[in-house]
Amino acid sequence: MDIVLKQQTYLKECYDSLLRKKERQDPEELKQNLRKLNECNYSFQFISSRDADVIIVLLVDVLSVVPNDDLVSRFGQLVFDICTKQKVTLETRSLHKTMEFLLKAFSSCSLWTLTNCISACGALLYSNVSRLEQASHMAITMHESLHLTSLPFLL
């Protein structure tokens, strides 16, 4: 099996798993799916913008119900890899939803998780800066609500 087909298979397996168990996702199975996706070789183009959009939104929906720092960190790594190495473009609604999820993670996750969340936000911002006006307003609001107390390293 060639590498692109193998990676597309991982993507389909993850997608099918998320659809089957959207409300009752097993954190361990989700962790394995994210691990498989993060182990893909992103130097080969294997994911379309549409597929990336669908899988990222499904993951945001599931991770909002199954909060877990390790899963959020793995998701951040996945978003970074997809955006920077696959050069995909998310739909505006999906882009805003993903940014909102990552920005909320800044105040709810452990510090060790933030590296991948910041990288994912950076990748989304870099490739979509003109479409993120609402997200930047949301970031300012989030920043004000944090009062910089939960992120002392930013002082």
Domain extent at residue 63: 3-154
What pLDDT, on the 0 to 100 scale, is given for residue 107?
Answer: 85
Q: What is the mean pLDDT of residues 129-147?
A: 61
Of the listed ranges 22-31, 43-52, 117-126, 142-151, the one predicted with least confidence: 142-151
Q: Tens digits of per-residue pLDDT, 18-64?
A: 887 666 778 898 899 999 999 988 888 988 989 999 999 999 999 88
**Please, which contacts does 126-132 make with residues 24 or more away whose CB atoms are closer than 8 Å?**
126/83, 126/84, 127/83, 127/84, 127/87, 127/89, 128/89, 128/90, 128/95, 131/92, 131/95, 132/95, 132/96, 132/99
DSSP notation for 44-89? S----HHHHHHHHHHHHHHHHHS--HHHHHHHHHHHHHHHHHS---
This prediction has a pTM of 0.80
CA angle 109, 81, 76 (to 5 degrees): 10
Length of the chain as a residue count = 155
pLDDT of 10 above 90: no
CA atoms within 13 Å, Cβ hemisphere of 100: 14
Q: Tens digits of per-residue pLDDT, 81-114?
A: 999 999 888 888 999 899 999 999 988 888 888 8
Question: Count of domains in the chain?
Answer: 1
